[in-house]
Amino acid sequence: MSRLQGKVALITGAGRGIGRGIAEGFVREGTKVAVNDIDGQAAQATVVRLMEMGGEALAVPGDVADESAVQSIVRETLGRFGHIDILVNNAGIATYVPVAEMSSAEWDRTIAVHLRGAFLCTRHVLPHMLEAGRGKIINIASQRGQKGGAGLAHYAAAKAGIIGFTKSLALEVSRHGIHVNAIAPGPIRTGRPASERFHQTVAGLPIGRAGEIEDVVPTAIFLACDDSSFYVGQTLCPNGGDVML
């Protein structure tokens, strides 16, 4: 398949999990991928995998909450590929901490990686998309941004912010040929050890199973290709029925 043939995507947090899965899905569709992760070895491992698949890829490690790092990431991507057609803001972190026990540093870091990171990457990619008159921006939110979660106030607030950011940005840039949407996955197996809370959430899902990375990737491909041209500021929800809107 080649719905994204010749496109260039920058995907943050793509060293593992959903980000890596999206990178692999995009390569299968003909996309060249710049792989960002704060873990440079993980980013390079994804690049090796994408090249084994026959794709063209570049590792651009760095902290998306650091503006100078983001500028370097965008500059390196443009230097290698010449343009950026798709931006996937996926980088994130998650911890379980009740608000009464949460440090301000933990709150700030979570908001910075998710929300500041999405803003900074968008801010520095957007001028190039505006100049080209086209682009796709896909922000990875979470069902927790829609329903909240005990011990996840910082994470849920960041993901709710991502959804609001998506809507506001879409209002600004849609008439310039840039489509902005979000994905809010439910509980997804990402290869990391699953917590008891994860198993509890899965037990309550109408579908009766956890999601897999492959359950999210088709949504990202859809939002990145021309088939989604009438989707503006939307949040698509592959969540197994955890949240029904």
Residue 166 to residue 170: CA distance in whole angstroms: 6
- Using alpha carbons only, give the angle 11, 15, 16 rounded to the nearest 5 degrees: 110
- The DSSP result for 165-229, as a single string, is HHHHHHHHHGGGTEEEEEE---SEE-SSPPPHHHHHHHHT-TT-S-EEHHHHHHHHHHHHSGGGT
Residue 196 to residue 200: CA distance in whole angstroms: 6
Residue from 145, 155, 166, 215 carrying the catalytic annotation: 155
Buried b (16+ CB within 10 A) or exposed e, 96-120: ebeeeeeeeeebebbbbbbbbbbbb
Going by C-alpha positions, the residue among 139, 134, 117 that lies closest to residue 233 is 139
List, in sequence order, every residue forming a beta bridge with 89; answer none if it has no partner.
139
The backbone torsions φ and ψ at residue 81, rounded to the nearest 5 degrees and listed phi first, read -110, -20
Active site residue 155: yes
List, in sequence order, every residue forming a beta bridge with 35; answer none if it has no partner.
11, 59
Residue 65 to residue 84: CA distance in whole angstroms: 20
Q: Which residues are catalytic?
A: 155
